[in-house]
Structure 1
């Protein structure tokens, strides 16, 4: 799943490639991708992109009074095309008949992961795709990003200038859940997902099961420094990276997430994993849990 650093990089990339260019075609291929119907997605056509912004893990394409807000969810991605298939969306050689035939072919169900295509007057554009059967990729067309429920309930951005250690302490003070879950709650802190919560907790040398409300002042300080450092470093690594290479860049910078069975780069202990019904976390026992191996929840249920 793209998280704050990758979405921040996509924001910069799209800002460079979309700003002041006209949207000439928006083609939804998967019906499930559209979460709003008024204004219609076709209302974006003929408008120029004024700016591209990020809200947590949401992308916002400001088209002068209308906003196309995108959430890539777990399996969604954005693919930039220097030249869309069959040339520019309004190329003189592309007759209405040929264009209609192409669009019908794209809209046939089960023909691939393509969910939505956006074309510019230059012939460039991007595709939104989603792998798998769980269709969570979401596109909203609104007059104000705050109309999107997920944007409206976002907590503060951890990289904002005003997000200081005292703010983090205040947010965690009333949390009676484990710190791993608290970090992933978008209404508490925006932009952190499964991967970077693992990385932040590893950098802070903190168990993912530690209760958020029980953190002492020193622990909050360590967590704050780990959060700012981990996310800031990831943003810098991703800055200027083309959209197609961001996934590989993210993976290359991860120390524990997705690396179960490999040695911890800090202490050399084996990175361990705890699996849940639809996700997993990775951690280092020596660095984070005083050597204790956390029980795998799925295996624990099987053994009962």
Structure 2
């Protein structure tokens, strides 16, 4: 029976997958070529000179491609970062659609593209805006990868992190554990004597992950490492940003615990101690 289960669970190839991939590739290439031709003609209409007209379409459509790749990299980032990148990709896509449509409309009425001053000015401003957006997009990706790197190194330094846990956070953690253990003990006092074994086993089942994929309450070392990573980026830690970062890692966290951790790590950075740890 186990052997048959493992065979059934093995992934099977879906017929036609290669054809679908080839079709997607061809559609993407053809769509890029058609958009490229229209945007290059728009570059000539806004008086971009020489060979640079061939680079203008890459500024718009190339930014869209890079933005989509960035969304894949930032799929585990806080929702604010993902929303920002989605906004950039949406703006670049809307600009490409507008320029392609404008190209077709103008040629439909005359044999040569002639744009008004406002349109020429708007299209000419795309290049510096794309430069600023690309640089900031790189910084957002780098910050996300750096924060993940700090969190990945944190488990190897559990004793040091445990020793550096602020007293208030340990106190909140103890209160949380006390509340969790009080209910089963009170229920066991009114049940049959043979139920004591089940009560004694209750703490062991506390560490089992939830069925929905969410893990147990965040450990202190991961909580502090995440808070210090946020503090290294912004200089302070807010409760909401810490909760978002912890939940994006798959853990649960109580608001009072997140508030105490945010206050403690913010105090560390204000005193200069947090900067030394982050370094």
- TM more than 0.5: no
TM-score by length of 1: 0.27
TM-score by length of 2: 0.29
Higher radius of gyration, 1 or 2: 2
Q: RCO greater where, 1 or 2, for CA within 8 Å and sep 6 or more?
A: 1
Relative to its length, the structure with more strand (as a share) is 1
Relative to its length, the structure with more helix (as a share) is 2
